[in-house]
Amino acid sequence: MKTGIKIALSVAMLASLSFGGEQFAMSDADRAMYAEMSENNPADIMIADGEELLSYMGGDEGLAKYLGVSEDELPSYIAGFPRYIKKFDMVVGLDQVLQAMMADGGHKPLKLKSGNMFAMVAYVKSIANDEPINIDVNANPQMKEMYALGEKTFMTKRGGRGLSCNSCHSPDVIGRVLRTQPLPDLSSKGVKAAATWPAYRMTKSSLRTFQRRFQGCMKNALLKVIPLGSKEMVALEIYLTDKAKGSEIAIPGLKR
Amino acid sequence: MNKTVMMSLLVGASLFATDYSKVIEHPDASKMIEKDLLAPPKVFTMPAGCITSDPAAIARGEYIFNNLNGKKAKKNPPKGLSRKQMKPGKTYMSGDKIPPKQYGNCVACHNIEGARGAGNIGPDLTDYKENFIDSGARDYQFVFQKIADARIDNPDTHMTINLTTKLFTPREICDITSFVVAPK
């Protein structure tokens, strides 16, 4: 199994790196730390932990079997999540699949927000490193419905300041600066943000999932923070993963 | 029912009928979102005496413009502005947690005189009086409405909505507007 760890630079990160000066959030010290971490992503250890945790459930082979695919097909199957799984009658993310697998294996499922779960999800997604994202939002009515819900959730203005995700991530504001932070591109086709999460966040000194990242933006922008695994969260992940369709997965990402 | 039949039913249940909706976390967020939705665009009229050259009001406006909330702000707020947000009509006991007051954080998107680390999602508001008011391009009511609910002028705005959301009181919107249009 290839575990080629790739370094993923977000658009925002590149922008932060290429400009100096007080306008930007990254200081010279930050940049030095970033350069060091690009050589040696601190999340690599956490991914190794995730691999060990999965090994208690049969490792890659056990996962492939659980998902009903061969081990060879596993990477490209993983590159299509979130997806509708008939057995669960639900559209699920990788973390939720792991919960079901734990339950079926007689284990108590880890909480979606637990650090061990983040580590496992990161490991499982890294199985698909170098694989292009192949999510199919038209695969079935369930996925269609979730994509539509994701788009709606992305566009809905709410919270104390009346903002939506789109207020800061619509194509016309990409690259502009929000209080020292260049706004990353999330919503135009071929954008690879989704391919780089789970990622290590330097400002949080921890490994975070894509949905956990959404929660960060909700909190900062005063949108009520909705729980991981909720329909709307999975839907947001689907909406943004579709934007990254075709981008090669590179886990763990490294973010400011 | 005899004991062995019951046992086999139980085992059978746990083997064949995993209720995935119970083991997979999928909390309901729709009600949270519904309660959090933004009210429709609203037209506001400036109250009498809204725009002022009172330095205390302008100082409050400037502070709201440049800070995110009462917890993050480094300098203490000027007179008449608090770091915490008490709910009107609620009695507080000692030890009660009072949430930080939210400020405007306008600087996240707008440059203006004296701003530090300003963003550029919105237009630069430097020399606003000369460029926009004295030139006749804008009047006070326009600026007040823009800050209160920017959707009236621009339905697709990326700007924050500050009065319809009740984030601020009309007087606070007046303080912010007074700061933006003041000679600097």
* A139-195 pLDDT per residue, tens: 999 999 999 999 999 999 999 999 999 999 988 888 888 888 888 888 777 778 999
Element (H, E) at A177: strand A177-178
Structure tokens at A87: 């057995």
Half-sphere exposure of A79 (CA within 13 A, CB side): 23
User: Does B2 score more than 50 pLDDT?
Assistant: no
Round to whole Å and give the CA distance between A140 and A138.
Answer: 6
Which amino acid appears at position B35 of this protein?
A: K
pLDDT of A24: 56
Please state, as a whole number, how many other Cβ atoms lie within 10 Å of the Cβ of residue B144: 25
Element (H, E) at A165: helix A165-169
With contact defined as beta carbons under 8 Å apart, do B124 and B107 qualify? no
Tell me which of B14, B18, B24, B120 to substitute to probe the interface with A (most A C-beta atoms closer than 10 Å): B24
Query: How many angstroms separate the CA of residue B139 from the nearest CA in chain A?
Result: 24
Q: Which among B135, B110, B109, B126 is positioned nearest to B184, based on CA atoms?
A: B126
Alpha helices in chain B (DSSP H): 3-16, 20-23, 30-36, 55-66, 128, 140-148, 170-181
Answer yes or no: do B25 and A87 touch at CB < 8 A.
no
Structure tokens at A53: 């945790």
Q: Of A90, A153, A227, which is closest to B20 when you measure between CB atoms? A: A90
For the four alpha carbons of A244, A247, A248 and A252, in that order, the dihedral sign comes to negative
For A233, residues 6+ apart whose C-beta sits below 8 A from its C-beta are: A211, A214, A226, A227, B29
What is the rounded (10 degree) CA torsion for B141, B42, A150, A13?
20
Tell me which of A179, A211, A224, A233 to substitute to probe the interface with B (most B C-beta atoms closer than 10 Å): A179
Residue A104: list chain B partners with CB under 8 A: 18
Q: Which among A112, A97, A93, A92 is positioned nearest to A66, based on CA atoms?
A: A97
Round to whole Å and give the CA distance between A239 and A190.
Answer: 13
Is B80 among the domain residues?
yes
**A242: containing domain:** 2-255
Tell me which of B101, B158, B162 to substitute to probe the interface with A (most A C-beta atoms closer than 10 Å): B158
Average pLDDT over all residues of chain A: 87
Distances (CA, A) of B87 to A79, B38, B91, B99, B101: 48, 20, 9, 10, 10
Q: How would residue A8 be classed by pLDDT, with cut points 50, 70 and 90?
A: very low
Is B112 among the domain residues?
yes
Answer yes or no: do B27 and A162 touch at CB < 8 A.
no
A184-211: burial string, b at 16+ Cβ within 10 Å, e else: bbbbeeebbbbbbbbbbbbeeeebbbbb
What CATH number did the domain enclosing B140 receive? 1.10.760.10
Round to whole Å and give the CA distance between A33 and A53.
Answer: 29
Residue percentage of chain A with pLDDT more than 90 = 68
User: Does B8 score more than 50 pLDDT?
Assistant: no
What CATH number did the domain enclosing A109 receive? 1.10.760.10
Answer yes or no: do A100 and B18 touch at CB < 8 A.
yes
Residue B27: list chain A partners with CB under 8 A: 227, 229-230
Round to whole Å and give the CA distance between B19 and B141.
Answer: 59
Residue percentage of chain A with pLDDT more than 70 = 89
For A31, residues 6+ apart whose C-beta sits below 8 A from its C-beta are: A16, A17
Answer yes or no: do A231 and B29 touch at CB < 8 A.
yes
Number of domain units in chain B: 1
Round to whole Å and give the CA distance between A193 and B146.
Answer: 33
Round to whole Å and give the CA distance between A55 and A123.
Answer: 11
Q: How would residue A203 be classed by pLDDT, with cut points 50, 70 and 90?
A: confident
Mean pLDDT (whole number) for A75-97 = 97
Round to whole Å and give the CA distance between A97 and A78.
Answer: 11
Number of domain units in chain A: 1
**B151: containing domain:** 54-84+99-184
Q: How would residue A33 be classed by pLDDT, with cut points 50, 70 and 90?
A: confident
Round to whole Å and give the CA distance between A17 and A40.
Answer: 18
Q: How would residue A131 be classed by pLDDT, with cut points 50, 70 and 90?
A: very high
Structure tokens at A140: 């079935």
Residue A230: list chain B partners with CB under 8 A: 26-29
Query: How many angstroms separate the CA of residue B22 from the nearest CA in chain A?
Result: 9
User: Does A3 score more than 50 pLDDT?
Assistant: no
Poorest-pLDDT segment among A11-20, A241-250, B19-28, B37-46: A11-20
Query: How many angstroms separate the CA of residue A4 from the nearest CA in chain B?
Result: 30
Residue A222: list chain B partners with CB under 8 A: 102
Instruction: List, in sequence order, every residue forming a beta bridge with A91; answer none if it has no partner.
Output: A84
Instruction: State the pTM of this model.
Output: 0.89
